[in-house]
Structure 1
Amino acid sequence: MRNRVVLFLLHTLSWLLLSSDTCHGVESDIRCLETLKLQLQDPNKFLDSWDFSNKTEGFICKFNGIGCWHPDESKVLNICLSNMGLRGPFPSSLKYCTSMTGLDLSNNDLSGSLPEDIDLIIPFVVKLDLSSNNFSGNLPAKLGNITYLNVLNLQHNQFSGQIPWQVGRLGRLTTFNVVDNPLSGQIPTFTNKSFGAKNFANTGLCGKPLNDCVGPAKKSHTGVIIGAAVGGIIFGIIVVVVLLSALRGVEKVDEEEDVEGNEWAKSIKGTKGIRVSIFEKLVPKMRLFNLIKATNNFSRNNIIDIGRTGTTYKANLSDETAGNLSF
């Protein structure tokens, strides 16, 4: 008897919990559609049939463009509002349709950018079709977090910037189309699927399956070459300046060393004898070495006279012979 009571209580509790979840889910989905109708402009009155005064079970399942998990349960499975002339932004109220797996808003006049937290608004969507609208701005990177996506159709919009690399991580993606958008940059690598060039018909995109990108990699390589060339030229100029400075220093030292003005003596060939003109005694021919030694390297202090015939030096020979010689 006691076991029967326990089982009865467990069944009752389970029923109450399930009823609470269902009721909460129904209320959330009704709120989703009520707010959606308020957010979108409907010039063609397609959404006028959405009557929320009728509170019978599953009443929202009869709404135009709404599919439910079960006809008698107000739990949205998918929303298809294609080709209705609707206007406005991407509806954030869709976050209240917590069990929705399909969303088709194609062929309308919706505009603005997609919300950055789109993965929190439609986390379980399998098919997302936003084609042929006026959506713009960058594609949110968090599209890559909607992991159940099989179909992502964004063609014929005004999306710009790059395709986020996170989109390439969508392992279940079988259909992807971004034709006719001013997108640019590298096409991401997709994990489990390769898409044809027809899915990326935008002049600004590059990489497989389109032409190779000629941007960052080659530009950076060119920059390295230019930088190396400029660096080489600057280094060459520095070397030339240093060499010229060194040569000037050597010339200056040579000039300082030749303060006696005897540079001309280096041009005298020492292999021939030099005839001495005036000496107290007769002096034989002399070698250059002896002559330089006798005149103290032709020092100015040894100059006696500078005349038409040349310069006369006082010379002291090793044999104590003294005299004057002219060149």
Structure 2
Amino acid sequence: MALTDRTHEAHSKLNYLQIDMGMAYHQDTITIISKGLEVELVKILTIFTAIEFSCNNFDGPIPEEIGEFTLLYILNLSHNAFTSQIPASLEKLSNLESLDLSSNKLYGNIPIPLADGLIFLSVLNLSFNQLVGQIPIIKQFATFSENSFKGNIRLCGLPLKSQCSHEEPRLSSSTYEEFHRSIIE
């Protein structure tokens, strides 16, 4: 598959998606949302690698196999009904420049390997999900604004205004006494 195999990369440069019918040809066009902007592509290079499946009512988990599409530059799965954690396999998308998973039902923490692996990411939108915990502030993730994370009421840390609580759970007085008694004995 061309999205995973770099050997096809050199052969596809400057070729456009079109059908040659002798004296005439048909040239495909497509409208995608890339980096937050709606863009109509008239001449589509065959090396252009994007998945734009927004607004399709897809549900269930995001397929782990998407992490195998290592030549992806844009991944937009927004405005669906995905109900899973963000797959850690997305960390393998090291060429990714735009990731939009907004307006789904994703839950759990943002995987640290994801923040560590996506070093070319210039657009991130994880807003309006059910994500929890502290936002990893490493590499590219340290550059994103509050808008990238808004609408996740249990998400905390910079750039959000809600700070994470690092307090240890408090023990009841009887548990506290038993704990200290065991140390003395």
TM-score range, shorter-chain basis? Answer: 0.5 to 0.7
CA change 1:55–1:180 in 2 (3 A) is: same
DSSP-derived class of the 2:44 partner: strand
User: How far does residue 145 in structure 1 lie from its aligned partner after superposition?
Assistant: 1.2
Unaligned runs of 5+ in 2: 1-7, 32-40
Between the aligned partners of 1:208 and 1:179, the Cα distance in structure 2 is 14
Instruction: Quote the offset at 1:151 in angstroms.
Output: 1.0
**Deviations 1:161-192 (Å, cap 9, x if unpaired)?**
11111121111111111111011122112314
Which residue matches 1:213? 164
Distance change in 2, residues 1:110/1:234 (3 Å): closer
Q: Superposition pairs for residues 158-173 of structure 1, below 5 Å?
A: 158-169=105-116, 170-173=118-121
In the alignment, which of 118, 126, 136 is matched to residue 178 of structure 1? 126
Amino acid at match of 1:213: C
CA contact under 8 A between 2:109 and 2:133: conserved in structure 1? yes
Pairing partner for 2:44 from 52, 68, 88: 68
**Kindly tell me: are residues 142 and 56 of structure 1, through their superposed partners in 2, closer, same or farther at Cα, counting changes over 3 Å?**
farther
* Contact 2:29–2:44 under 8 Å retained in 1: no
2:56 paired residue number: 108
Alpha-carbon displacement from aligned partner over 1:138-157 (angstroms, at most 9, x marks no partner): 11001111011111111111
CA displacement at 1:107 relative to structure 2: 2.5
TM-score (norm 2): 0.67
Shift of 1:56: 5.3
Match of 2:138 in 1: 190
| Structure 1 residue 152 corresponds to structure 2 residue 99 | yes
CA contact (8 A) 1:119 1:142 kept: yes
How many pairs align?
Answer: 156
Counterpart CA distance in 2 for 1:115 and 1:160 is 15
Equivalent AA in structure 2 for residue 148 of structure 1: N
User: What is the TM-score when the length of structure 1 is the normalising length?
Assistant: 0.40
Task: Find the aligned partners of 2:21 and 2:70 in 1 and give their Cα distance.
Answer: 28
More strand by share: 2
- In the alignment, the residues of structure 2 paired with residue 234 and residue 148 of structure 1 have an alpha-carbon distance, to the nearest angstrom, of 54
Match for residue 129 of structure 1? 76
Q: What SS does the corresponding residue of 1:198 show, helix, strand or coil?
A: helix
The 8 Å contact of residues 115 and 139 in structure 2, kept in 1 or not, is answered as: yes
Shift of 1:207: 1.9
Q: Measure how far apart 1:204 and its partner are.
A: 1.4
Inter-CA distance 235–129: structure 2 relative to 1 (3 Å threshold): closer
- Would the alpha carbon gap of residues 146 and 235 (structure 1) be closer, same or farther in structure 2, given more than 3 Å must change? closer
CA distance in 2, matches of 1:180, 1:130: 13
Matches within 5 A, 1:4-153: 61-62=27-28, 68-69=44-45, 76-78=46-48, 101-120=49-68, 122-153=69-100
Question: Quick one: structure 1 residues 226 and 115, their matched pair in 2 at CA, closer, same or farther if it must change by over 3 Å?
Answer: farther
Greater RCO structure (CA 8 Å; 6+ sep): 2
Greater C-alpha radius of gyration: 1
Tell whether the 8 Å contact from 2:99 to 2:125 is kept in structure 1 after alignment: yes
User: Helix, strand or coil for the counterpart of 1:132?
Assistant: coil
Q: Residue deviations 1:35-90, cap 9 Å, x none?
A: xxxxxxxxxxxxxxxxxxx7859x78526568632xxxxxx444xxxxxxxxxxxx
CA spacing shift, 1:60–1:233, aligned 2, 3 Å: farther
Q: Give 1:315's aligned residue.
A: none
> Measured at CA, do residues 60 and 212 of structure 1 come closer, stay the same or move farther in structure 2, by a change above 3 Å?
farther
